[in-house]
Structure 1
Amino acid sequence: MNAILITFNKCAAIEDDYYMFASKPDDLDDLSEFTRIFYFDDQAPENKWRHLDIPYFSTICLCVVKSALGSQRKYAALSKNGDISYYWPGGQGTEKIVDAGLKKVAPMYGYLNSLKEIDGCLYACGGGGQIYVRDANQWHDIAGELRSPAPIIKPNHAINQFNIGDDIADIDGYSAKDLYAVGRNGIYHYNGHSWRLCQVFTDEIMMSVICASNGVIWTCGFNGTILRGNAASGFEAVSHYDDDMILTKMAFYRDHIYFASNEGLFLLDYTKEKSRLQKIDEIVECEDISVVGDTLLCIGSKSIYILDKHGWRELKHPDHT
Structure 2
Amino acid sequence: MVVPIKFVNACAASDDIFIIATIPDGLPAGAEFTRLYYLNPSTEDVWHYRDWSNHQVVSVCLRREQSSVKRAGCALTGDGDVELANSVGQTYEKIADAGLASERALGDVTRIREIGSTLFVCGGSGQVYRRDDTGWTPIDDELVATGKNALELPQLNAPISNETLRQFTQTLRHLPNFNDIGGSDETDVYVCGNGGNLFYYDGTSWRKIEIDTDAILTAIHCVSSDEVWVVGQDGTVLFGNARTGFRNLGEFFPGGYIWSVRHFGGRVYLGTLHGLYTLDGSNVRLVSSGKLDGRAQIIALDSFSDTILWIATDRHAIRYDGSTFTFFEHPDNVNY
CA separation of 1:175/1:48 partners in 2, compared to 1, >3 Å: closer, same or farther? closer
CA deviations on 1:75-132 (whole Å, 9 max, x unpaired) are 01111111111111021011111111121x6531111111111111111001010011
Q: Distance in 1 between matches of 2:183 and 2:127?
A: 16
Structure having the larger proportion of residues in helix: 2
User: Secondary structure of 2:70's partner?
Assistant: coil
The yes-or-no answer on 1:296 pairing with 2:309 is yes
Confirm whether residue 115 of structure 1 aligns to residue 115 of structure 2: no
- CA deviations 1:221-240 (Å, max 9, x no partner) are 11111111222222111125
Report the residue type matching 1:130 in the other structure: Q
Match of 2:330 in 1: 317
Which range moves more in the overlay, 221-230 or 239-248? 239-248
Aligned to 1:177: 187
Structure 1 residue 15 displacement after superposition: 1.9
SS in 2 for 1:238: strand
Instruction: Tell me how far apart the structure 1 counterparts of residues 141 and 228 of structure 2 sit (CA, whole Å).
Output: 22
SS in 2 for 1:147: helix
Query: Normalization by structure 2: what TM-score?
Result: 0.85
Out of 278, 286, 295, the residue aligned to residue 285 of structure 2 is 278
- When structure 1 is superposed on structure 2, of 46-55 and 220-229 the one drifting more is 46-55
Which residue of the partner structure matches residue 129 of structure 1? 126
Give the residue type in structure 2 aligned to 1:26: D
Partner of 1:246: 257
Superposition deviation, residue 309 in structure 1: 3.8
Query: Any gaps of 5 or more consecutive residues in structure 1?
Result: none
Distance 1:83 1:178 in 2: 25
Q: How does 1:226-245 map to 2 (within 5 A)?
A: 226-239=237-250, 241-245=252-256
The 1:83–1:315 alpha-carbon spacing in structure 2 relative to 1, beyond 3 Å, is same
Moved over 6 A (4+): 149-153, 161-164
Displacement of 1:50: 1.8
* Map of 2:277 onto structure 1: 266
Q: Which amino acid aligns with 2:105?
A: M
CA distance in 2, matches of 1:30, 1:263: 27
Whether the 8 Å CA contact 2:176–2:197 is kept in 1: the answer is: no
TM-score by length of 1: 0.89
Does structure 1 conserve the Cα–Cα contact (< 8 Å) formed by 2:79 and 2:100? yes
The amino acid that maps onto 2:60 is L
CA distance in 2, matches of 1:260, 1:96: 31
Measure the CA separation in 2 of the matches of 1:243 and 1:96. Answer: 39
Residue 94 (structure 1) aligns with: 92
% identity of equivalent residues: 27
Name the structure 2 match of 1:209. Answer: 220
5+ unaligned residues in a row in structure 2: which ranges?
154-158
Stretch of structure 1 that moved more, 174-183 or 66-75 = 66-75
Q: Once the 2 structures are TM-superposed, how far is the Cα of residue 163 of structure 1 from its aligned partner?
A: 7.9
Does the CA contact (< 8 Å) of 1:182 and 1:207 recur in 2?
Answer: yes
Question: What letter is aligned with 2:5?
Answer: I
Q: What is the aligned partner in structure 2 of residue 139 from structure 1?
A: 136
Counterpart amino acid of 1:276? N
> Which secondary structure does the structure 1 equivalent of 2:303 belong to?
strand
- How far did residue 187 of structure 1 move? 1.4
Aligned CA RMSD, in angstroms, stands at: 2.6
SS in 2 for 1:128: helix
Question: In structure 2, what residue type is equivalent to 1:36?
Answer: R
1:310 Cα shift?
4.2
**Paired residues of 1:223 and 1:243 also in contact (CA < 8 A):** yes
Mapped pair 1:17 → 2:16: yes
- Give the count of matched residue pairs: 313
Cα distance between partner residues in 2 of 1:213 and 1:226? 17
**CA–CA distance in structure 2, aligned partners of residues 62 and 9 of structure 1:** 9
Contact 1:83-1:96 within 8 A present in 2 as well: yes
